A and B are shown apart, each in its own frame.
Chain A
């Protein structure tokens, strides 16, 4: 092995008589791209291990002999599995290679139903494309084609057309290598081989939508999109998914101003090319009849349809008379621009500092506890990762894929601490399944095991948490020389959340990993709101205080932007009381929510596909969305309405374009200076973290919390 380390890291080979230097071990199918060539493929996928199944990539390969002659290998070789080597000679376009490609395509087509005119994939189909360039123009097949189920429902979302399948195994390998749920496998053999789930159960995966996109034919189709459109009739624009805080890049395919499907868009720094099923199939609300499209104002018991002018009139009167006794709360789908303009409206026009975007039970003051230090892509190369608290596959599915990749590709040790069984357990170095409520105790025990001091006694912790002593020591052993933390702010929903998060911080400090402490946002622009400091200043009230003030009647007016407190807050009793009691309630949202019934004024907002703006994901990456389809009814981007109100109340000139808002943001928040719109094409821009001093250990009570006995 020592000799291998000394070998040069690049090799020189000849492709079609052109000599090139490539990294040692690079696959020929990738090497040819360096000189602008392409080898046709079906089964090969650059993010999965090569298998060489389809044989479409056959090339002629030989080796230069010491005497200068070239000895060609007797058989053509699969370019997708062959690593480049010195003295290798490759021909990708000889008569023989062309014949082989034609042969493979002929084989693939003999049993492929030529139902391209009605196939979803028609027009964007690799089999069609390769056939045009490399395939035979007629068939010599006169036998009866293979007949198999045409619309086999693998799940609610994915329908399998077995006749179209070319058995490339991409879907099977995706579930084995990328998503890790191993839901698909081949059944039967030979010409009858077909992908399916085991025992024909439902294809249950958080990532099932991806197999539709990587299928090189129309075999795996979206149950929803099936037969709904032809690809060439669709318009497509880049967009961002707002279902969680990851900020996955998507293609938004639409027709006649309505969404038809979502596909993954490549952004190596964020989602590579994957989407989760929430992001891919969960966007139907855009066309929902529950969308809020008109302005409503309250008239006694009824909300009556109105217009912006009337609403602005009522709002400005109500909020001005409330003075500083007004407040605003935002949810996770409001853009940076929306949030900034709302903050301006409140601080400049209403003179109020009662602003908040946080919905967790605990609201620690310390900014350091909210740090995010590791980027999504960096997780891939972390040797030790500590996933703490919640099911990461549920909260940040695509970040989960990165962490799984770290294990799958780089043998990362992933320690998973979760009170319930979760997907990450399947590859965990150590799984710590603790009793709910004992988070702080578990962390204290790991602390003690890793550092020999502090924290709590391991044996005692073991009996409280239900986690074996050995498992605690094993986890601590792996973590003590450093780890990257992956935890989310939903931990702050615990009653002792502040202690739990403090314990996490202490643990990272004790293991010299405070620069890898990450407490991730859970909603799309939660991090953006934090960076714009949509939070109460010293004299302002935070979420809980605002709700309490509303409930007591002290707070006179409340503005809810893109949020439904009834679903976001843990204390529905308080929320209901607050919304009932507050004198004037503005609900501004793109969709009707439960709190609409309490509203004094209902303002329609644009959904992400209808407005211009930016979102800041969990790693502080600012990404741009552009208006794709027209706003519905009277809806307008929220930031625009705030500008108009500011003009009305203070005479300030309103921004006309979102990029002007970003300039304003950058002017008042220096870290956003790199995020001006010209810079946001491509992968987006990561804005710097808050300058914070060296994180200090905090006082933590390493005690368990009473959990009601009915908690599972």
Chain B
């Protein structure tokens, strides 16, 4: 299937960033339609579309919207998770910089559907440009009467604020994001069934809808064209509907964001990105650094869809798709990934705090030539001791890539341990490999 540009249709158009340019292309029609509809009808439209969370977990969006109390007793909050921190993912960045009104319109629709009072856009601390763009767009939306008091004469009030994070991957986890937004340390909070869902008691213990930037950006299209139309996109897959933006990076000729319909294959995605650069395909991390790695064969057979990717051995995740060529050392790659998670673990729970650091130490020792054969078994055990035992998903996300690589590329680890240097070598590898690099024995 070719690229299906829906959300990114106008992302190259500088005028689209302003409210005028956005409305010229049909912007805010979805919101106007929603405001003329019954609140429940909006949720039903989202339900019909089959939209699932684009942040990584793929939770059906309408269930969250529908979970907000219908008879209002407390303020309702609409929260946008724009803390895009997953290595390899940069789709929200483009959406916020180039199509900020799309996300804002989606949030206002969500606000209308759930009787929201205030929307917060929690933007990753490093994304200053995004924050500027979103802030400007919010100001414009206020001016145009899409935010503020008595929106479009409906008598409904809705405010929106931008909040910049302070540089923590963990704050992209929805409950940690809420902690951080409330001014607490960015640590995850208890989740269902240990505590009520955010839709019941989220931000300041009030009903809260929290979705990803891309998820909100889908809402205007669903409202304009109808949920049923949206559901025709990706109909070839089991249960994934619509389009998904993949941030393609790695050894490809044209890295960047590509929006595809579910049911497209990874091979087609690679084709869109101009194919491999500097060597043949060795591996692919399809959904951001936390999903299990695929080898070339698995990659070429994989169909993009929430269930289909699981069958292929990985996950859609957040859509940070990294293609790696034959000169990539998997051990070094996984060590670098493990280092990221060790540095980003918030420290709340034992398995993640201690396990991620331990894995990094072992992998670091291996890559410096000090590996022992028993380290492979030990790493697998540590992964199983973290996976599912940690407080939030960060522990799982740290364990999956290591466990996945050990399963798919065991020979690379064994070779590295046995010989003290990587199975791949040559000028391309040596150019890419981080210091210290152990001298290859020729």
Contact = CB atoms under 8 A, between A and B. Distances in A.
A76 B346 CA distance: 21
B385 A103 contact: yes
Interface in A174-201: 185-186, 188-193
Contacts of B193: 77, 82-83, 85
Contact of A104 (B342, B346, B351): B351
Contacts of B194: 52, 77-78, 81-83
B349 A55 contact: yes
A589 B363 CA distance: 69
A78 to B, nearest CB: 7
A192 B365 contact: no
Contacts of B384: 103
Contact of A107 (B168, B348, B351, B362): B351
Contacts of B168: 189
A53 interface: yes
A85 B193 CA distance: 10
A58 to B, nearest CB: 6
Given A52-B194, A110-B358, A58 B345 contact: no
B232 interface: no
Contacts of A190: 342-347, 353, 356-357
Contacts of A167: 347, 350, 353
A53 B348 contact: yes
B389 A76 contact: yes
Interface in B322-342: 342
A140 B351 CA distance: 15
Interface string A102-121: 01101110110000000000
Contacts of B355: 107
Which of B347, B350, B358, B388 gathers most chain A CB within 10 Å? B350
A76 B391 CA distance: 11
A53 B350 contact: yes
B190 A81 contact: yes
B419 interface: no
A141 interface: yes
Nearest to B69: A1
A653 interface: no
Contacts of A439: none
Interface string B343-380: 11111111101111110011001000000000000100
A53 B194 CA distance: 13
B190 A104 contact: no
A684 to B, nearest CB: 38
A55 B190 CA distance: 13
A55 B389 contact: yes
Contacts of A77: 193-194
A671 to B, nearest CB: 47
Contact of A103 (B344, B347, B351, B391): B351
A453 B195 CA distance: 49
B185 interface: yes
Interface string A184-225: 011011111100000000000000000000000000000000
Which of B170, B345, B353, B389 gathers most chain A CB within 10 Å? B353
A108 B354 contact: yes
A74 interface: yes
A55 B354 CA distance: 12
Contacts of A193: 346-347, 353
A54 interface: yes
A244 interface: no
Given A52-B190, A83-B194, A85-B193, A191 B389 contact: no
A548 B363 CA distance: 84
Contacts of A166: 350
B350 A107 contact: yes
Given A52-B349, A55-B350, A190-B343, A107 B391 contact: no
B350 A141 contact: no
A513 to B, nearest CB: 32
B237 interface: no
B388 A75 contact: yes
A189 B391 contact: no
A100 interface: yes
Interface residues of A, number: 38
Contact of A55 (B170, B185, B351, B358): B351
B210 to A, nearest CB: 20
A143 interface: yes
B389 A104 contact: yes
A52 B391 contact: yes
B373 to A, nearest CB: 13
A185 B389 CA distance: 24
B390 interface: yes
A72 to B, nearest CB: 12
A140 B354 CA distance: 13
A107 B385 contact: yes
B18 to A, nearest CB: 39
A192 B347 contact: yes
Nearest to B193: A82
Contacts of B347: 167, 186, 188-193
Contacts of B354: 107-108, 110-111, 191
A104 B384 CA distance: 11
Nearest to B341: A190
Contacts of B390: 55
Interface in A262-300: none
Which of B190, B347, B351, B365 gathers most chain A CB within 10 Å? B347
Interface string B409-425: 00000000000000000
A364 B347 CA distance: 59
A166 B193 CA distance: 26
A111 B345 CA distance: 16
Contacts of A107: 350-351, 353-355, 358, 385
B389 A100 contact: yes
Contacts of A106: 385
A185 B347 CA distance: 13
Given A185-B185, A189-B346, A190-B353, A103 B361 contact: no
Contacts of B343: 190
Which of A58, A83, A190 gathers most chain B CB within 10 Å? A190
Contacts of A53: 348-350, 391
Contacts of A192: 347
B11 to A, nearest CB: 34
A104 B352 CA distance: 10
Contacts of A82: 193-194
Interface in A78-98: 78, 81-83, 85
Interface in B144-173: 168, 170
B396 to A, nearest CB: 9
Nearest to A190: B345
A191 B353 contact: yes
A140 B359 CA distance: 12
Nearest to A112: B354
Given A76-B388, A83-B194, A104-B389, A54 B346 contact: no
Contacts of B357: 190-191
A361 to B, nearest CB: 47
Nearest to A74: B388
B265 to A, nearest CB: 29
Nearest to A143: B361
Nearest to A99: B385
Contact of A143 (B351, B365, B385): B365
B350 A104 contact: yes
11 contacts: A52-B391, A55-B390, A82-B193, A85-B193, A100-B389, A186-B347, A189-B345, A190-B347, A190-B356, A191-B357, A193-B347
Given A81-B190, A167-B353, A185-B185, 12 more contacts: A50-B190, A52-B391, A53-B348, A75-B388, A82-B194, A103-B384, A103-B385, A104-B350, A108-B354, A190-B344, A190-B356, A191-B357
Interface of A: 50-56, 58, 74-78, 81-83, 85, 100, 103-104, 106-108, 110-111, 140-141, 143, 166-167, 185-186, 188-193
Chain A to chain B: the 5 pairs with minimum beta-carbon distance, closest first: A193-B347, A103-B385, A107-B354, A191-B357, A190-B345
